Amino acid sequence: MSTVATRSPQGAWELGARAGYAASGLLHVLIGVLAAQLALGSSGGSADESGAFAAIAGTPFGAVTLWIAVVAFVALAAWQAAAAVSGAAGETSDRVKAGAKAVVYLALAATAYSVVQGASGGGRTQSATAQMMQSPGGRLLVGAVGVGVVVVGVYHVYKGLTKKFLEDLNRLPSGTPGRVARRAGVAGYAAKGLALTIVGGLFVLAAATANPEEASGLDGALQTLRDAPAGPVLLLLVAAGLVAFGAYCGVRSRFGRL
């Protein structure tokens, strides 16, 4: 990117959007580390976004890093929203995906902001689900959300195993770095897809049993995996995959299509 382009408003937004992918990469690496600690019996922080942000907050310059993450995620959300509204994302399905990504990145910005402000994220998934269930048709809505998350999770696995994620990249560095990036993408998408599928399944279970406590976020899903037969080993594999996904996000921040 030229200096002039970087100084232009669009260039500045693109730089911010790429920083958002880098922040997402760091986030997934930290979640992977927390998941590995969970598999090994550690009582550390929650293996989810709030836990990862809390880990950042506890480091030197943690508050500054979190503020940078907030700005980066907002920039990436704005970029995705603009692509969805303007049609730059492509076909209707691509515009819908861009809009959904905008919501996700805005939620990450809000989570980082709440952590840097000292707010606690514990129990928010369960309480939101409980409120939803109390509304007319709430159980159906919770079940629909769960099915939607399962679909997204399965698609992540498909995208990883078929290497469809390569379509999101302009190019890859040649030689060993490129091969490592491909392998990180395969393992990362598959691991994140598995985790999302479990999250969605828990929401479906909550709707089926009318028990909002069954619905939990990523941390609850990883705990569920840990408690399964051979769970700690599987969780360690997922943790490694999440770290790999973080590495892939780092590559995407440099070589990805926007």
Neighbours of 206 (CB within 10 A): 26
What is the mean pLDDT of the segment spanning 179-186? 92
Give residue-wise pLDDT tens across range 84-96: 998 888 888 888 8
Where are the strands (E) in the chain, listed by range? none
Cα–chain center distance at 132? 23
Contacts of 222 (CB under 8 A, 6+ apart): 35, 38, 47, 48, 195, 198, 235, 238
Q: Which residues are 169's β-sheet partners? A: 256
What is the mean pLDDT of the segment spanning 185-207? 91
CA atoms within a 13 Å half-sphere pointing along the CA-CB vector of 168: 21
Predicted local distance difference test score (pLDDT) of residue 142:
85
What is each CA distance from 204 to 49, 69, 176, 209, in whole angstroms?
22, 32, 42, 9
Please say whether the beta carbons of 100 and 145 come within 8 A.
no
Q: Is residue 42 classed exposed, middle or buried when 0-12, 13-18 and 19+ CB atoms within 10 A define those classes?
A: exposed
- Spatial separation of the C-alpha atoms in residues 29 and 119, rounded to whole Å: 22
Predicted local distance difference test score (pLDDT) of residue 45:
67
- Spatial separation of the C-alpha atoms in residues 165 and 192, rounded to whole Å: 13
> Across all residues in the chain, what is the average pLDDT?
85
- Spatial separation of the C-alpha atoms in residues 49 and 31, rounded to whole Å: 7
Residue 5 has pLDDT above 50, yes or no: no
Cα–chain center distance at 82? 20
